[in-house]
Amino acid sequence: MANAVMGSKNKMWGQHLVLDLSGCPKEKISDGENILAWGRELVKAIDMVAYGKPQLEHFATHKTETAGYTFVQLIETSNICAHFAENLGEVYIDIFSCRDFDEQKALEVTKQFFQPEIARIKNFNRGETFQENLYGSRNYQGFAVDDVLFEGQSDYQKVSILQNKELGRVLTLDNIIQTTQNDEFTYHEMIAHVPIMSLPHAPEHVLIVGGGDGGCLREALKYPTLKRADMVEIDQMVVDQCVKHMPTLNNAGAIYKDSRANLLIQDAFKFMKDTTEKYDAIIVDSTDPFGAAEALFGLEFYQMCQRALKPGGTISTQNGVPFFQAAELAQTSAFWRQLGLLGQCYLATVPTYYGGSMALGFGVNAKEFKLPTLEQLEARMQEYKLDMRHYTPQLHLAAFALPKWVQEIMAGNANAIRKAA
């Protein structure tokens, strides 16, 4: 399960600036008077008030690596701390304040006094960041949280919708990023249109597993030949809150009022076990294989999908980022080979998903299959009058051109990417 750090509806105040300097002249960082003068000018530059006298002590003279001055100054709302490793030419500075300040002014003053060859800066807004640890504590992604629009605990998962200036609105489930307002089309168009456009006939019946944000259903409903799209989503809270807070993904809920749309709030595994329906295409827009979604990555589920596909029907699945989730893709590929689903995968680049290209599983319920030609895909685009922001016939075909290491993962070698390590 992922862990996250993020803000709340009540803003936590605090700016924490970290400056790391290297290549500083020794005479600049071993001069106590220069350090004290820097402290005075820094307080002025960031518009703070100093309280009490600064503390300046020379430490660790017996340790070549760490010998140098340590500086501490209390300021209006917190403190400035720094250590000067004079023999290394390095300076480590922490500036923390409960009132915002200009980080560039702090950097400029510091560079003026210590003349570093390299200055690295990190700025943290306390209580206003989200960090996802889907791949563990050493590899993670995150973003600044400008606002928390919704947080709630459903019967199945924690549901959060956050606001970020660059990403727009962000849906997370159990603290794992699912989709964002500003780049969702790159994912939804690829997972939905590749299987549907690969059909040798016009689509009439489509099944969407999961997809509570509405993006896949929105894309499926673009086909004028579609008679019914069943969407099986386990969590009503996800659907409701995405209609309220992420309306661009579901046309403000209008997709659910389309006479062709059939929203079913229930467990997709049970639905597949009981259904007698036959589909032209099945789109499995599931979360990662944790909790209730874990069953949607197993052999039994794929067997049920195969049974529900018409002859020649296609299936697409979310299979994670193979650089970090190779085992997931290798397992799905093995199951599909076992079932004779002509399993393949294609790649999609989604900015939000950290770790490189995303793998989307692709299977066909047939004994043989060839991808459509470019001319066929272009003709279908014209016939269906499809309006896309990301998908193109050229991209459709190019997405199946796989790097060698991804081909090896699909062949069963989940460690293919680690060979060079």
Domain boundaries for CATH 3.40.50.150 within the chain: 184-418
Tokens of 54: 């600064």
Homologous superfamily (CATH) of 134-180 is Spermidine synthase, tetramerisation domain (2.30.140.10)
Tokens of 315: 């299936």
Return the pLDDT at 291.
66
Residues of the chain with pLDDT under 50: 1-10, 420-421
CATH of domain 15-125: 3.60.90.10
Q: What is the DSSP string of 113-178?
A: HH--SEEEEEEEETT-EEEE-TT-SSS-EEEE-SEEEEEEE-SS-EEEEEEETTTEEEEEETTEEE
Return the pLDDT at 417.
75
Q: Kindly tell me the sign of the dihedral angle through the C-alpha atoms of 322, 328, 334, 337.
A: negative
Residue 162 CB partners (closer than 8 Å, separation 6+): 6, 130, 145, 146, 147, 148, 149, 169, 170, 172
Can you tell me which residue has the tokens 């660790």? 60
For the purposes of burial, counting CB atoms within 10 Å of the CB of 256, is it exposed (0-12), middle (13-18) or buried (19 or more)?
middle
Catalytic residue list contains 183: no
Q: What is the dihedral of CA 364, 367, 371, 372, to 10 degrees?
A: -100
Whole-number Å distance between alpha carbons of 29 and 69 = 8
Task: Specify the DSSP class assigned to residue 381.
Answer: H
Q: Which long-range contacts (CB under 8 A, 24 or more apart) does 371-380 make?
A: 371/198, 371/396, 371/397, 371/400, 372/197, 372/198, 372/200, 372/396, 377/197, 380/197
Tokens of 249: 């993904």
Q: Please say whether the structural domain 184-418 has been given the CATH code 3.40.50.150.
A: yes
Tell me the residue length of the chain: 421
Return the pLDDT at 127.
61
Return the pLDDT at 126.
63
CB burial string 125-152: b at 16+ within 10 A, e below: beebebebbbbeeeeeeebbbeebbbee
Domain boundaries for CATH 2.30.140.10 within the chain: 134-180
Question: Would you say 121 and 94 are in contact if contact means Cβ atoms under 8 Å apart?
Answer: no
Question: Would you say 314 and 362 are in contact if contact means Cβ atoms under 8 Å apart?
Answer: yes
At residue 356, φ and ψ (nearest 5 deg) are 105, -160
Domain boundaries for CATH 3.60.90.10 within the chain: 15-125
For the chain, count helices (H), then strands (E): 12, 19
At residue 42, φ and ψ (nearest 5 deg) are -65, -45
Could you give the 3-state DSSP secondary structure of residue 46?
Answer: coil
**One of 213, 230, 285, 288 is an active-site residue; which one?**
285
Q: What percent of the chain has pLDDT over 90?
A: 72
Return the pLDDT at 415.
83
Tokens of 406: 């991804």
- Computed on alpha carbons and rounded to an integer, the radius of gyration of the chain in Å comes to 27
Q: What is the DSSP string of 173-205?
A: ETTEEEEETTTHHHHHHHHHHHHHHT-SS---E
Amino acid found at 218: R
